[in-house]
């Protein structure tokens, strides 16, 4: 180790002296003239196995990239392991990837608890933990964890966007909040409160629920009794559907804001009743393949072609396959930007140097942006309203940038 | 299934290849210790880490085996004791700043008390009814750990990140090597204690209760006391394993201790051999490595492959690894 550090210092010094001679190839473990090893950890089995399709779609995407000649002539070797959403297994698999397979980086490991379990290890080992598949806000902390980066719009950004919308359109309203009592629910709620700023007093009622609760009916009844006319529904699919149904049954007609994780028509809106859901407002950042308004969209065409050829067994109604396509494109961009300097340090430098990068399955106008101090690649969402049949996008792209 | 005893006294003069059985035992034990001692110097850190985990699972399975194998009580809830041990260690290390070494005895005591107290009401339950009660415990524990009342201590859903200890006294070992050595030392103590316990008067009482509670009671054994104590000791073992596991993984979260873990321990128990102490080591290795093997066969069907492997194993070794070894020995043994 001692020797290595000294050699690194010498080589860094040499590079600095040499200046323009940067063009020579540089590699860390996991990269060579012919390949780039990318590690990944997914819950292919266990309680969260529905997300496993993300890993499969990513593998399919890299297969396509390799068939098209790879990245700067290098093929991607995508090594994906199953952790069954169990943090101890995640640690084992991450160590297997880093110490056994010697991957250049780990990308899109899924879940808040699994990623929390390996965050320290990855940062001590200085191996990129890139574009983790969770919306928690804690992944954008370059000061303390410079080797970890999130991807999707984080929960706090989303909360801020609802606050913005409320302040713009219903500034005199009274807000009632239903939220899941865990890190995710509290994260969205914190964003909402931060976004309201000095107007936090608009929230006149908030009711938590536990994931173990059988229903949220009593919470909804209490929230209605508070006299609020804006209802912010921060719940996971099952509970969100219950809340929408109950609001309908009670004859309550608030402005209903529904968080993004529960905006699936198939698993939330339909079970809750299309009529009950009419007029609900939510947010989106990626294109929804089931949206009839997207017919003829070039991005959707590319995605469909990719799915047909490389992942025909995948379910096209599953938005996880869209997420996979988007993040895989982002990773390919980072690796392209790395050029012949495929060191872990340069991977993070390039990941933190994405400027207005567009991906064809992101909603038009939403772009990927990062910087050495901004580890939140996506922070923009667009509002959409349910018209009784489908979601209709409206209004401008909204940013929920932390600190904005 | 539970009628088999580990006692092999009925063949005191048996030999294999001219060497007497007790000598064989010593030879095997010696060879095992040599292998254990060699591992940290031969393998890469990652493999040392995996074997450390396998040993930790073996200790947990040993705890379950004392309960199920030697006392005839079923538990599908040992993940709960594993979790309590793990959180005891994590809270002591991160919130209270106490050295990891002390977390082991404290986790042992805490889990013994929990196990003993849980064992008291559970005494009224037999067989599958007890299994169901412990199952409830396994289901409840992740929720309890997430609850807002305990969140200040448990870190809620986020869990607790632990700093991995380095080797003490400036020993030239990596933290993986040291944790391996530490776990092996703890394991040796636990195995020696378990062997002595089972061979003792208390152990005979435990086995008597398993084989015939009414007869045991007629012999003057306090059945309910022994059952509760066994539950406590069993929880103690699993709790110690939990504490070691928390230190080795350097992270605890409710998602780590779901019902799946309880089932994994149960599988390890059956595969290793019910009422076999060395068999628990096979169980530990199985729990850790077979899911990996299943995954390397097929990613999409990892669960199904695991099931097939399990079926084949149970079909080929209906009494576990220990039963297979016993069968092998009985074929090789020459009786004088």
Domain ranges of chain A: 25-153+297-373, 155-284+382-399
Q: How high is the pLDDT of residue A17?
A: 46
Tracing tokens 């009985």 back to the chain, one arrives at B330
Residues of A in contact with B158 (CB under 8 A): 112-113, 116, 183
Pairing of strands A341-342, A26-27: parallel
CB distance B50–A99 less than 8 Å?
A: no
Residue from A1, A29, A88 to probe the interface with B (highest B Cβ count within 10 Å): A88
- Domain locations in chain B as residue ranges: 19-258
Question: In Å, how far is A120's CA from the nearest CA of chain B?
Answer: 8
Q: Which residue among B143, B256, B300 sits closest to A88, beta carbon to beta carbon?
A: B256
Q: How do residues A15-31 score in pLDDT, each as one tens digit? A: 444 444 445 788 998 99
A247 pLDDT exceeds 90? yes
In this structure, are residues A370 and A144 in contact, taking their beta carbons and an 8 Å threshold? no
Q: Which residue among A86, A183, A211 sits closest to B260, beta carbon to beta carbon?
A: A86
CB distance A91–B46 less than 8 Å?
A: no
B5 pLDDT exceeds 70? no
CB distance B156–A45 less than 8 Å?
A: no
B213 contact A CB<8A: no
B10 pLDDT exceeds 60? no
CB distance A113–B256 less than 8 Å?
A: yes
Question: Which candidate, A116, A130, A202, places its Cα nearest to that of A164?
Answer: A202
A113 contact B CB<8A: yes
Mean pLDDT of A380-395: 90
- Percent of chain B topping pLDDT 70: 95
A223 pLDDT exceeds 80? yes
Question: In Å, how far is B195's CA from the nearest CA of chain A?
Answer: 29
In this structure, are residues A209 and B147 in contact, taking their beta carbons and an 8 Å threshold? no
CB distance A45–B46 less than 8 Å?
A: no
Average pLDDT in chain B: 86
Tell me the pLDDT band of B22, cut-offs 50, 70 and 90: confident
Query: Across the A/B interface, how many CB contacts are shorter than 8 Å?
Result: 90
Tell me the pLDDT band of A266, cut-offs 50, 70 and 90: confident
Residue of B nearest to A91 (CA): B249
Mean pLDDT of B125-148: 84
Mean pLDDT of B111-129: 84
Average pLDDT in chain A: 89
Q: How high is the pLDDT of residue B196?
A: 93
Q: How high is the pLDDT of residue B7?
A: 52
A84 contact B CB<8A: yes
Question: In Å, how far is B278's CA from the nearest CA of chain A?
Answer: 25
CB distance A182–B159 less than 8 Å?
A: no
Neighbours of A7 (CB within 10 A): 10
Residue of B nearest to A100 (CA): B46
Mean pLDDT of A366-381: 92
A12 pLDDT exceeds 60? no
What residues of chain A, 193 to 232, have a C-beta less than 8 Å from chain B? 210-212
Give pTM, 2 decimals: 0.81
Mean pLDDT of B43-67: 93
B49 contact A CB<8A: yes
Q: How high is the pLDDT of residue A19?
A: 44
Q: How do residues B225-282 score in pLDDT, each as one tens digit? A: 898 899 999 999 999 999 999 999 989 988 889 888 999 999 999 999 888 888 899 9
B44 contact A CB<8A: yes
Q: How high is the pLDDT of residue B185?
A: 93
Residues of B in contact with A100 (CB under 8 A): 44, 46
Question: In Å, how far is B21's CA from the nearest CA of chain A?
Answer: 39
Residue from B251, B257, B260 to probe the interface with A (highest A Cβ count within 10 Å): B251
Residues of B in contact with A84 (CB under 8 A): 260, 291
B13 pLDDT exceeds 70? no
Residues of B in contact with A86 (CB under 8 A): 255-256, 258, 260-261
Mean pLDDT of A186-210: 92
Residues 6+ apart with CB under 8 A from A112: A134, A136, A183, A184, B157, B158
Residues 6+ apart with CB under 8 A from A60: A306, A310, A311, A314
Residue of A nearest to B161 (CA): A117
Mean pLDDT of A135-146: 91
Instruction: Determine which helix (DSSP H) or strand (DSSP E) holds B253, and give its type and residue range.
Output: none
Q: How high is the pLDDT of residue A404?
A: 42
A390-404, B21-35, B66-80 — which one is most confidently predicted on average? B66-80
B291 contact A CB<8A: yes
Residues of A in contact with B46 (CB under 8 A): 95-96, 99-100
CB distance A113–B159 less than 8 Å?
A: yes
- For domain A25-153+297-373, the CATH class is alpha beta
CA dihedral B270, B275, B280, B282 (to 10 degrees): -60
A403 pLDDT exceeds 60? no
CB distance A82–B299 less than 8 Å?
A: yes
Residue of B nearest to A50 (CA): B300
Mean pLDDT of A247-255: 93
Q: How high is the pLDDT of residue B97?
A: 85
Q: B13 in helix, strand or coil?
A: coil
Q: How high is the pLDDT of residue A1?
A: 44
Q: What fold characterizes domain A155-284+382-399?
A: Rossmann fold (3.40.50)
Residue of B nearest to A138 (CA): B158
Residue of A nearest to B306 (CA): A45
Q: B7 in helix, strand or coil?
A: coil
Question: In Å, how far is A88's CA from the nearest CA of chain B?
Answer: 6
CB distance A95–B295 less than 8 Å?
A: no
| Least trusted range by pLDDT, from A23-37, B51-65, B97-111 | A23-37
Mean pLDDT of B318-327: 86
Residue of A nearest to B140 (CA): A212
């Amino acid at each position: 180790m001692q020797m290595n550090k000294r050699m690194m210092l010498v080589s860094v010094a040499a590079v600095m002296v040499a200046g323009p001679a940067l063009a020579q190839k540089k590699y860390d473990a996991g990269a060579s003239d012919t390949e780039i090893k990318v590690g990944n950890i997914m819950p292919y089995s266990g309680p969260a196995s529905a997300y496993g399709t993300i890993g499969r779609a990513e593998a399919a995407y890299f297969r396509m990239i390799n068939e098209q000649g790879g990245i700067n002539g290098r093929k991607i070797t995508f090594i994906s392991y199953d952790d069954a959403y169990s943090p101890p297994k995640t640690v084992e698999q991450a160590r297997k990837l880093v110490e056994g397979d010697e991957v250049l980086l780990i990308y899109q490991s899924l879940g808040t608890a699994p990623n929390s379990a390996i965050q320290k290890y990855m940062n001590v080992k200085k191996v990129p933990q890139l574009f983790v598949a969770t919306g928690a806000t804690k992944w954008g902390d370059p000061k303390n964890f410079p080797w970890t980066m999130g991807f999707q719009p984080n929960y706090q950004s989303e909360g801020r966007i609802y606050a913005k919308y409320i302040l713009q359109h219903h500034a005199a309203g009274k807000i009632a909040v239903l939220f899941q009592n865990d890190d995710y629910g509290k994260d969205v709620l914190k964003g909402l409160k931060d976004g309201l700023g000095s107007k936090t007093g608009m929230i006149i009622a908030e009711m938590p629920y536990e994931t173990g609760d059988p229903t949220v009916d009593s919470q909804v009844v209490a929230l209605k009794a508070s006299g609020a006319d804006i209802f912010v529904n921060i719940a996971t699919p099952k509970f969100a559907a219950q809340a929408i149904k109950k609001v309908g049954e009670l004859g309550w007609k608030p402005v209903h804001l529904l968080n993004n994780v529960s905006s699936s028509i198939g698993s939330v809106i339909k079970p809750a009743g299309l009529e009950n859901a009419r007029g609900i407002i939510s947010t989106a950042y990626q294109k929804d393949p089931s949206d009839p308004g997207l017919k003829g969209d070039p991005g959707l065409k590319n995605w469909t072609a990719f799915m047909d050829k490389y992942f025909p067994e995948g379910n096209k109604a599953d938005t996880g396959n869209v997420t996979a396509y988007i993040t895989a494109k982002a990773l390919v961009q980072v690796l392209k930007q790395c050029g012949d300097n495929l060191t872990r340090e340069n991977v993070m430098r390039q990941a933190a140097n994405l400027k207005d990068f567009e991906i064809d399955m992101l909603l038009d106008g939403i772009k990927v942006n990062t910087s050495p101090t901004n580890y939140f690649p996506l922070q923009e969402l667009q509002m959409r309203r349910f018209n009784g049949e489908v979601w209709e996008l409206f209004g401008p792209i909204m940013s929920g940038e932390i600190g904005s | 299934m539970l009628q088999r005893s580990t006692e092999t006294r009925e063949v005191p003069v048996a030999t294999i290849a001219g060497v007497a059985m007790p000598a064989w035992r010593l030879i095997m034990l010696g060879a095992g210790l040599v292998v254990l001692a060699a591992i940290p110097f031969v393998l890469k850190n990652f493999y040392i880490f995996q074997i450390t985990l396998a040993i930790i699972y073996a200790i947990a399975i040993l705890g379950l085996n004392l309960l199920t194998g030697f006392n005839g009580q079923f538990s599908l809830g040992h993940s709960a004791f594993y979790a309590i041990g793990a959180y005891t260690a994590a809270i002591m290390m991160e919130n209270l700043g106490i050295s990891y070494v002390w977390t082991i005895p404290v986790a042992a005591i805490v889990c013994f008390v929990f196990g003993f107290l849980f064992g008291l009401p559970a005494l009224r339950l037999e067989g599958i009814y007890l299994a169901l009660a412990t199952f409830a415990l396994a289901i409840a524990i992740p929720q309890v750990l997430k609850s807002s009342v305990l969140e200040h201590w448990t870190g809620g859903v986020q869990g607790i990140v632990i700093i991995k200890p380095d080797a003490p006294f400036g020993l030239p070992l990596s933290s993986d090597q040291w944790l391996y050595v530490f776990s092996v030392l703890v394991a040796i103590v636990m195995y020696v204690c378990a062997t002595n316990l089972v061979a003792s008067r208390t152990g005979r009482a435990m086995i008597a209760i398993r084989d015939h509670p009414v007869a045991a009671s007629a012999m003057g054994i306090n059945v309910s006391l022994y059952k509760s104590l066994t539950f406590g000791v069993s929880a103690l073992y699993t709790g110690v394993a939990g504490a070691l596991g928390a230190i080795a993984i350097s992270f605890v979260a409710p998602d780590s201790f779901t019902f799946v873990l309880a089932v994994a321990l149960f599988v390890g128990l059956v595969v290793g051999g019910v009422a076999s102490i060395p068999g628990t080591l096979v169980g530990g290795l199985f729990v850790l490595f077979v899911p990996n093997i299943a995954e390397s066969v097929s990613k999409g069907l990892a669960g199904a492959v695991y099931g097939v492997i399990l079926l084949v194993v149970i079909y080929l070794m209906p009494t576990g690894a220990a039963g297979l070894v016993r069968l092998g020995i009985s074929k090789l043994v020459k009786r004088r």
